Chains A and B, each alone.
Chain A
Amino acid sequence: MTTKIVVAYDGSDSAVRALEYAMDQAIKAGASVVVAHVLEWSPYTFLTPEEIEERHARREDELKRAKTSVIDPALEKYAASGVTVTGTVKYGHVAETLARLATQEKADQLVVGRQGQSTLSKRFFGSVPMTLAQTTPIALTIIP
């Protein structure tokens, strides 16, 4: 029995379809939904002294922007659906962070959209759904 679904959501078309699918499932099963937006971030990049100084302020801005322009509209859209929908914004490696979040939330399904990255960058870095397909700790659904 599904009780909690985590959806990777960045506002893109495929993410919107993923969320629609997750909501569908949630209504049928009476589950709750966590809308997760992950900002790509590596602790091993290089910054200038100025960037270091401004980093904290910029992080607050990014979190605020992600909340108001990505998460809030999604939550509003399904406010009247009767399903408990919560939102969260995280930093980190997208696939790893989603997997960790799913475990922390004790969710039993993870839903991601098949993203529209170019073939070249996929070949070099692998896509989020591909990485998750190999590492997911719980049931994973990839929405085209």
Chain B
Amino acid sequence: MTHFRLRGALAGLAAIAAAPIQAQTLDQQINDAFASSTGWFVNFIFSPFPGTSFPWIVAWLVVAATVFTLYFGFIQFRAFPHSISLVKGDYSDPDDAGEVSHFQALATALSGTVGLGNIAGVAVAVGIGGPGATFWMILAGLMGMASKFTECTLGVKYRNEYADGTVSGGPMYYMTKAFAERGIPGGKILAVLFSIFCILGALGGGNMFQANQAHAQIANVVGDFPGWITGIIFAVIVFAVIVGGLKSIARVTEKVVPFMGVMYVLVALVILIMNADQIGWAFGQIFSGAFTGLGVAGGLVGALIQGFKRAAFSNEAGVGSAAIAHSAVRTKEPITEGFVSLLEPFIDTVVICTMTALVIIITGQLVSDPNTGLYLLDEGASTIQTVDGNKGVALTSAAFSSSFGWFQYVLALAVILFAFSTMISWSYYGLKAWTFLFGEGRTKELVFKVIFCIFIVIGAAASLGPVIDFSDAAIFAMAVVNIIALYVLMPVVKAELESYLSRLKTGEIKKFH
């Protein structure tokens, strides 16, 4: 049945693709309609503090990450070794075998976050903010570990468990249940707002951005063709998985994605080793760029904003999505999921994103003035000139291919798989928000899934700018609401933390291996 549908769709596509002029106009139309209908939302989320160019939302995230870091006493560094032991299964009771392990929870949450943010997003950040953006990105990644710890602990603690053994959790559940428990008003309103933004984020960053960059990558390899074609192919496959229950595709992706991630880091490492003599220079660029901007648009602040933005968009710390993913895990100690989750921003941002940035910098993709050492800007004066005029995922691809020509094909495959697994994860997050708002039920769930698939086509057809802006805006809107709840509920996490640490000390929490 699915096979037949796919073949029919492909035949149709081939027929329409024969009229390229018409197709380009369709892309253009979708793009214009999209930009004009989402502009106000994007403007609101990214509006700067009066009289500055510093968006309030970026400050919001960084202040939160700093508050959590201080409040929990640099938990991301203190608990780092314990987090690794948990993932290794040192504290897992063998009698609980068969339940989801900490490793599995981490791997699944990671395959939702590791993706285009690490490949395309970093290229956008470095392309606009210069090498200095990398420094702020790493810093934001390290601080974000504390935000992730807070939200995931709460996600597990306040999830709903149903009679059939399944669980639903996430910020909307801790907003309603924990606020009510502590007699604080407003939980319900926050939960509804969060759910609305989560649905938008699922459609934006979790969907359209992915489709858009997957298309850019495919077009980069096979030549330019209309984006909606990629969109429809993706939509059909995602539809087959999330509606048709074609689990085999999802399962294959979930297994291939981690290997792709490891391979990506390994190839990046090889490129860095090949250019070992430049590593010192690259870090010099990163540090001096971080504090001077080296001529990028907006200078120091421009680099900082780009770095923070991309880190938040890539590792989703404070956004609340990971709290949904982790809350499905059965554990006696909610805080253990918090410990495990703090590894995500580390792996995602501090390791993988940094690799991408280093490869782009070291392979000399960014054009600078040989006399002043400052970066040259494009005509619009907003982005740095690149050797071949590439931006986004094409820039990363060019950087990797300059060392290994064949890597662009591997990267194209990786991008498609990352995009696909991120879409599957976000369709789940979006669905959880949707069912929180509208209740569970087959028809209601189907409506969301169909909307989700339609947005894949829109995302692939729209041009990069409006899609990235909207994706960021929707995901950051989730963080606005989520972080309010995290501030209110952080004493709950502190109590959990102190109780757990003292029991760990007395040996009440046993090591099994």
- Chain B positions 253-287 with a Cβ under 8 Å from a chain A Cβ: 254-255, 257-258
Which of chain B's residues have a CB closer than 8 A to the CB of A59?
98-99
- Chain A positions 88-142 with a Cβ under 8 Å from a chain B Cβ: 90-92, 97, 100
- Chain A positions 38-59 with a Cβ under 8 Å from a chain B Cβ: 39, 41, 43-57, 59
Which of chain B's residues have a CB closer than 8 A to the CB of A51?
247
Contact B104 A48 (CB under 8 A): no
Contact B328 A53 (CB under 8 A): yes
> Does B474 touch A at the CB level, under 8 Å?
no
Contact A52 B258 (CB under 8 A): no
Which of chain A's residues have a CB closer than 8 A to the CB of B258?
46
Q: Contact string, B87-104, partner A, CB cutoff 8 A, digits 1/0?
A: 001001010011111111
- Chain B positions 160-180 with a Cβ under 8 Å from a chain A Cβ: 164-168
Contact A55 B100 (CB under 8 A): yes
Residue on A nearest B251 in the bound complex, by CB: A48
Bound state CA distance, A97 and B95, in angstroms? 10
Contact A57 B254 (CB under 8 A): no
> Does A76 touch B at the CB level, under 8 Å?
no
- Chain A positions 18-51 with a Cβ under 8 Å from a chain B Cβ: 39, 41, 43-51
Bound state CA distance, A92 and B97, in angstroms? 6
Smallest beta-carbon distance A38→chain B, Å: 10
Most buried by A among B94, B98, B103: B98
Which of chain A's residues have a CB closer than 8 A to the CB of B166?
53-54, 56-57
Contact among B92, B251, B330 with A43 in the assembled complex (CB-CB below 8 Å): B92
Contact B99 A49 (CB under 8 A): no
Residue on B nearest A53 in the bound complex, by CB: B328
Bound state CA distance, A52 and B340, in angstroms? 16
Contact B97 A56 (CB under 8 A): no
CB within 8 Å for A62 and B98 given contacts A53-B328, A54-B166: yes
Residue on B nearest A96 in the bound complex, by CB: B94
Which of chain B's residues have a CB closer than 8 A to the CB of A52?
100, 104-105, 108, 325, 328-329
Residue on A nearest B110 in the bound complex, by CB: A46
Which of chain B's residues have a CB closer than 8 A to the CB of A49?
108, 112, 325, 328, 424-425, 428-429
Residue on B nearest A43 in the bound complex, by CB: B101
Smallest beta-carbon distance B312→chain A, Å: 21
Contact A91 B98 (CB under 8 A): yes
Bound state CA distance, A91 and B424, in angstroms? 28
Contact B98 A100 (CB under 8 A): no
> Does B140 touch A at the CB level, under 8 Å?
no
Contact B98 A39 (CB under 8 A): yes
Contact B104 A90 (CB under 8 A): no
Main secondary structure of the interface of B (DSSP, over half): helix
> Does B154 touch A at the CB level, under 8 Å?
no
Contact B99 A56 (CB under 8 A): yes
Contact A48 B424 (CB under 8 A): yes
Which of chain B's residues have a CB closer than 8 A to the CB of A46?
104, 107-108, 111, 254-255, 257-258
Which of chain A's residues have a CB closer than 8 A to the CB of B97?
41, 43, 90-92, 97
- Chain B positions 219-251 with a Cβ under 8 Å from a chain A Cβ: 247, 250-251
Which of chain A's residues have a CB closer than 8 A to the CB of B250?
48, 50
Which of chain A's residues have a CB closer than 8 A to the CB of B325?
49, 52
Smallest beta-carbon distance A48→chain B, Å: 5
Which of chain B's residues have a CB closer than 8 A to the CB of A48?
108, 247, 250-251, 254, 424, 428
Bound state CA distance, A39 and B97, in angstroms? 10
Smallest beta-carbon distance B167→chain A, Å: 6
Contact among B98, B103, B424 with A44 in the assembled complex (CB-CB below 8 Å): B103
Contact among A41, A47, A53, A91 with B254 in the assembled complex (CB-CB below 8 Å): A47
Contact A100 B94 (CB under 8 A): yes
Smallest beta-carbon distance A137→chain B, Å: 15
Bound state CA distance, A55 and B327, in angstroms? 13
Residue on B nearest A92 in the bound complex, by CB: B97
- Chain B positions 70-92 with a Cβ under 8 Å from a chain A Cβ: 89, 92
- Chain B positions 43-72 with a Cβ under 8 Å from a chain A Cβ: none
Contact A55 B103 (CB under 8 A): no
Contact B165 A56 (CB under 8 A): yes
Bound state CA distance, A49 and B329, in angstroms? 10
Bound state CA distance, A52 and B102, in angstroms? 11
Bound state CA distance, A50 and B100, in angstroms? 12
Bound state CA distance, A44 and B108, in angstroms? 11
Contact among A39, A45, A50, A63 with B104 in the assembled complex (CB-CB below 8 Å): A45
Bound state CA distance, A90 and B164, in angstroms? 22
Bound state CA distance, A50 and B243, in angstroms? 13
Which of chain A's residues have a CB closer than 8 A to the CB of B100?
47, 52, 55-56
Bound state CA distance, A64 and B330, in angstroms? 19
Contact B98 A57 (CB under 8 A): no
Q: Contact string, B10-52, partner A, CB cutoff 8 A, digits 1/0?
A: 0000000000000000000000000000000000000000000
Which of chain A's residues have a CB closer than 8 A to the CB of B104?
43-47, 52
Which of chain A's residues have a CB closer than 8 A to the CB of B254?
46-48
Contact among A55, A90, A97, A100 with B99 in the assembled complex (CB-CB below 8 Å): A55
Contact A43 B89 (CB under 8 A): yes
Most buried by A among B97, B103, B105, B111: B97
Q: Which 5 A-B pairs have the closest CB atoms?
A: A57-B165, A43-B101, A91-B98, A91-B97, A49-B428
Q: A43-B101, A60-B165 are in contact. List 17 more A-B contacts (CB 8 A).
A: A43-B89, A43-B104, A46-B254, A46-B257, A47-B104, A47-B254, A49-B424, A52-B108, A52-B329, A54-B165, A55-B99, A55-B330, A56-B166, A56-B167, A57-B164, A97-B94, A97-B97
A-B contact pairs, 28 of them (CB 8 A): A41-B97, A41-B98, A43-B104, A44-B101, A45-B104, A45-B255, A46-B107, A46-B254, A46-B258, A47-B107, A47-B108, A47-B254, A48-B247, A48-B424, A49-B325, A49-B424, A49-B425, A50-B250, A52-B325, A52-B329, A53-B166, A54-B165, A54-B166, A57-B164, A57-B166, A60-B165, A91-B97, A92-B94
B interface residue numbers (CB < 8 A to A):
89, 92, 94, 97-105, 107-108, 111-112, 164-168, 247, 250-251, 254-255, 257-258, 325, 328-330, 424-425, 428-429
